[in-house]
Amino acid sequence: MYIFKNSFKSISRNKGRNILIGIIIIVISCACAVTLSILNAANKIVSSYEEKYQIKASIGMNREKLVESFKESSSGEDMINSFNNIESVTKEEIEKYADSKYVSSYYYTYTLNMNSSNLKEATDSLVKETTTTTTRTETFGGGNYPGRPDGNYGGKRSTTTTKKTEEIKNLKAENGAFKLIGYNSYEAMTDFINGSYTITSGEVSSDFESNTCVISEELASLNNIEVGDTITLTSPKDSKITYELTVSGIYKENTEDSDDMTNMFSASVNDIITNSNVIESILALSDDLNAELNPTFILTSSDVVDKFSEEVTGKGLSEYYQVTNNLSEVESATESINNVKTFATTFLIITLIIGGVVLFVINMINIRERKYEIGVLRTIGMSKFKVISEFVIELLVVTIFGLIIGAGIGSLSSVKIANSLLENEIQNSTSNVEKINSNFGGHMFGEGGPQNKINGLVTIEKADSINAVVDIKVLGELLLIGVGLTFISSLASMISIQRFSPLEILRERS
C-alpha cells in the first residue's frame, strides 16, 4: 500500500517531469486513438464488404496449362483431341470440394446449348436490323462510328455481314441456338439478385426440380409465348431427342443502354433459364450431350482463399483446371479503405516508436536523477521489485491520465480526420476509373462508363465514407498500448535498478 502512496507522492513532487511525460502520452494516445479508430472503422467496412459481397471461388480452365499442352501437340487434330480429352468437372467432384471447413455454402450452374422445334431465336431479326442500319449509313457517305477501328461502313461490308449471318446461323444450329442455363438455387441466380434480370410476368419456380423455365421478353414476343405455354427443346446432335418445358415466367434484361449497338450481338435474349434438375434430366437422355458445369463456393473469409485452393488441388482437381476467386474484386472495391489502413498503420507504428524512445529517454534521465532515492530505499531494505514497482506505478498513473485525455481528444477528431483522409483516397480512385474510361474511348459503354463494368466494380460499390469512432475495442487497444509503452519506458528503470549498487550510490553521494 505504501508503494502506491509513495508513487502518488512522487508524481506530485516531480510535477514538471510528469507533466512533460503526460503531454507526450497525450500526443501519442491522441494519435493512436485517431489511427486505431480509423483502422477499426476500416476493418469493419472491409469485413462488411466481404460479408455483403462474399468471397467466392470457382473452378475455371487453366489457360497456361492448356497452352503448354497445345504447344506439345504435333498437329491441329492432336490439339483438338487433347482438348476433348480433358474431363469436365463433375457434380460429385464439386460436392467433394465443397465438403470443406473453408466453404460456408456453394452452388452451381449448368450451361447446355439446345435447339428448339417451336422457338425461333431472337438474334435473327436483330442481325437483319443491323444490316439495314449499316446500309443506310453508306447513303450518308460512310459514317465514322466512335469507338470502332474503321469508320467506313460501305455496301460491300453489308453484304459480307449478311453472309456471315448465315454462317453464324448454321454454326449455331449445329451447336444449339439456345443457351439453357440451369441453376440449383436462388443464390446461384446472380443476374436476378444483382438486378440485371427482372421477372415481368410469372415467376421463377421455387422448387428447382419442376420442368419449368423463364425466357426473355424478346424471345417471348417474337414467338408469341405467354406464361403457361410449353416449349420443346431438341438436341443439336440428334433432333429426335426432345424435352418439353413449361414457361413459368418472362424476364427482361435491365441494360441502361438499350440502344447501344453492342447489345444487338448479345446472345442473352436466347437464354432459357431453368433449374439444374432439368439439365441433368436432359443429359440423361443422350451421352452425346455435354453441359458445362460452373461451381461457385462461398468461402468463410478472405484469409482461406489460398488454403481452399490448395485443398481442392489436393483433392484431385485436374491440372487443366484452376481455382479462381473474386478476392481481387473485393480488394479493388476496398482499395481506398486499404490505402487509409496502410497509412494509419504506418503512422501508428512510427508514433509508437518515436513515443517509446522519447519516454525511454525521459525515464532514463528520471532514474539517474533519482539514483540517490533508490540507493536509500535499497539500503533501508526495500526490495528491488518494490522499488521497480514504485517507479512503474508512477509512470502507469501518468500514462493512464494521458491516455484518457488523449483518447478523448482523439475520439473527437477521429471522424473528421478519417473522412478527410478517405476523401482524398476516393478522389484518387475516381480519377483512376475516369482514366480507364478514357482508355476505352470515354463513351464506349455510354453514360456511367466502365466503372460499372471493370475490375470488380461490376457488382461491388465503392466505399465512400468512413465512420470512425473510438469504441470499446479501440479503448482496449489504447489501454494495451499504454501498458506496453509503460512497460517499454519502465525498462530503463528496471534495468538500472537491477544494476545499481546501493553502496556505490551512497558512496558517490558522500
Partner 1 sequence: MKKNVILKIDNVSYRYKDAKKDEYTLKNVNYEFELGKTYAIKGKSGTGKTTLLSLISGLENKYEGNIFYKNENLKKINLDKYRNTYIGIIFQSYNLLPHLTALENIMLSMDISNLKGINKKEKALSLMESVGLDKSLANRRVLKLSGGEQQRIAIARSLSYNPDIILADEPTGNLDKETEDEIMKIFENLAKKENKCVIIVTHSKNVSDNVDVVYEMKKS
Only one of the segments 41-49, 312-320, 345-353, 369-377 lies at the binding site for partner 1 (rule: CB under 8 A); that segment is 369-377
Query: Rounded to the nearest whole angstrom, what is the least distance from the CB of residue 4 to partner 1 in the complex?
Result: 11
Give the bridge partners for 178, in sequence order: 114
Query: Rounded to the nearest whole angstrom, what is the least distance from the CB of residue 33 to partner 1 in the complex?
Result: 35
Does residue number 63 form part of the binding site for partner 1 (CB under 8 A)?
no
Size of the site for partner 1 (CB under 8 A): 21
Q: Which one, 63 or 509, has the nearer CB to partner 1?
A: 509
Give the bridge partners for 113, in sequence order: 179
- Contact assessment for residue 293 and residue 180, using Cβ atoms and an 8 Å cutoff: no
Three-state secondary structure readout of 125-163: HHHHHHHHHHHHHHHCCCCCCCCCCCCCCCHHHHHHHHH
Does residue number 472 form part of the binding site for partner 1 (CB under 8 A)?
no
- 470 vs 339, 355, 400, 481, CA distance in Å? 20, 21, 16, 14
Amino acid at 166: E
Q: Which one, 67 or 380, has the nearer CB to partner 1?
A: 380
Q: Which one, 13 or 443, has the nearer CB to partner 1?
A: 13
Q: Which of 182, 375, 450, 482 contacts partner 1 by CB under 8 A? A: 375
Query: Rounded to the nearest whole angstrom, what is the least distance from the CB of residue 499 to partner 1 in the complex?
Result: 13
Sign of the Cα torsion 179, 184, 190, 196 reads positive
- Contact assessment for residue 146 and residue 441, using Cβ atoms and an 8 Å cutoff: yes
Backbone angles phi, psi at 453, to 5 degrees: -130, -10
Instruction: Give CA–CA dist 291/108, Å, rounded.
Output: 12
Q: Which of 124, 217, 373, 471 contacts partner 1 by CB under 8 A? A: 373
Q: Which one, 194 or 379, has the nearer CB to partner 1?
A: 379
C-alpha closest to that of 27 among 409, 326, 440, 415: 409
Q: Which one, 2 or 186, has the nearer CB to partner 1?
A: 2
For the chain, how long is the longest CA-to-CA vector? 115
Only one of the segments 1-9, 46-54, 326-334, 347-355 lies at the binding site for partner 1 (rule: CB under 8 A); that segment is 1-9
Q: Which of 39, 377, 392, 470 contacts partner 1 by CB under 8 A? A: 377
Only one of the segments 204-212, 219-227, 331-339, 377-385 lies at the binding site for partner 1 (rule: CB under 8 A); that segment is 377-385
Query: Rounded to the nearest whole angstrom, what is the least distance from the CB of residue 491 to partner 1 in the complex?
Result: 22
Q: What dihedral do alpha carbons 200, 202, 203, 207 form, nearest 10°?
A: -170
Q: Which of 8, 13, 159, 461 contacts partner 1 by CB under 8 A? A: 13
Query: Rounded to the nearest whole angstrom, what is the least distance from the CB of residue 378 to partner 1 in the complex?
Result: 8
Does residue number 6 form part of the binding site for partner 1 (CB under 8 A)?
yes
Binding mask 479-508 for partner 1 (x = CB under 8 A): ----------------------xxx--x--
Q: Which residue is listed with cell 473453408?
A: 102
Query: Rounded to the nearest whole angstrom, what is the least distance from the CB of residue 301 to partner 1 in the complex?
Result: 53
How far is Cα of residue 332 from the mean position of the Cα atoms in its chain? 7
Q: Which residue is listed with cell 505504501?
A: 2
Q: Which of 314, 380, 431, 472 contacts partner 1 by CB under 8 A? A: 380
Query: Rounded to the nearest whole angstrom, what is the least distance from the CB of residue 12 to partner 1 in the complex?
Result: 10
Only one of the segments 316-324, 378-386, 411-419, 482-490 lies at the binding site for partner 1 (rule: CB under 8 A); that segment is 378-386
- 60 vs 106, 185, 422, 510, CA distance in Å? 15, 20, 36, 84
Helices 2-13 and 384-439 pack at an angle, to 10 degrees, of: 60
Only one of the segments 313-321, 328-336, 373-381, 437-445 lies at the binding site for partner 1 (rule: CB under 8 A); that segment is 373-381
Does residue number 8 form part of the binding site for partner 1 (CB under 8 A)?
no
Give, as ranges, the residues between 385 and 414 that touch partner 1 (CB under 8 A): 386
Helices 384-439 and 335-369 pack at an angle, to 10 degrees, of: 160
Does residue number 355 form part of the binding site for partner 1 (CB under 8 A)?
no
Q: Which of 48, 383, 424, 427 contacts partner 1 by CB under 8 A? A: 383
Query: Rounded to the nearest whole angstrom, what is the least distance from the CB of residue 2 to partner 1 in the complex?
Result: 4
Kindly give the pairing relationship between strand 55-61 and strand 321-325: antiparallel
Query: Rounded to the nearest whole angstrom, what is the least distance from the CB of residue 13 to partner 1 in the complex?
Result: 5
Query: Rounded to the nearest whole angstrom, what is the least distance from the CB of residue 25 to partner 1 in the complex?
Result: 23
Instruction: Give CA–CA dist 22/403, Å, rounded.
Output: 9
Give, as ranges, the residues between 273 and 332 that touch partner 1 (CB under 8 A): none
Q: Which of 141, 314, 316, 381 contacts partner 1 by CB under 8 A? A: 381
- 252 vs 215, 268, 278, 504, CA distance in Å? 9, 10, 22, 92
- Contact assessment for residue 331 and residue 45, using Cβ atoms and an 8 Å cutoff: no
| Coil/strand/helix, residue 263 | helix
Does residue number 509 form part of the binding site for partner 1 (CB under 8 A)?
yes
Query: Rounded to the nearest whole angstrom, what is the least distance from the CB of residue 505 to partner 1 in the complex?
Result: 10
- Contact assessment for residue 179 and residue 215, using Cβ atoms and an 8 Å cutoff: no
Give, as ranges, the residues between 220 and 239 that touch partner 1 (CB under 8 A): none
Q: Which one, 22 or 375, has the nearer CB to partner 1?
A: 375
Only one of the segments 374-382, 452-460, 475-483, 492-500 lies at the binding site for partner 1 (rule: CB under 8 A); that segment is 374-382
Count Cβ atoms within 10 A of the Cβ of residue 383 and give its class: 0-12 exposed, 13-18 middle, 19 or more buried.
exposed
**Residues binding partner 1 (CB under 8 A):** 2, 6, 9, 13, 373, 375-377, 379-384, 386, 501-503, 506, 509-510
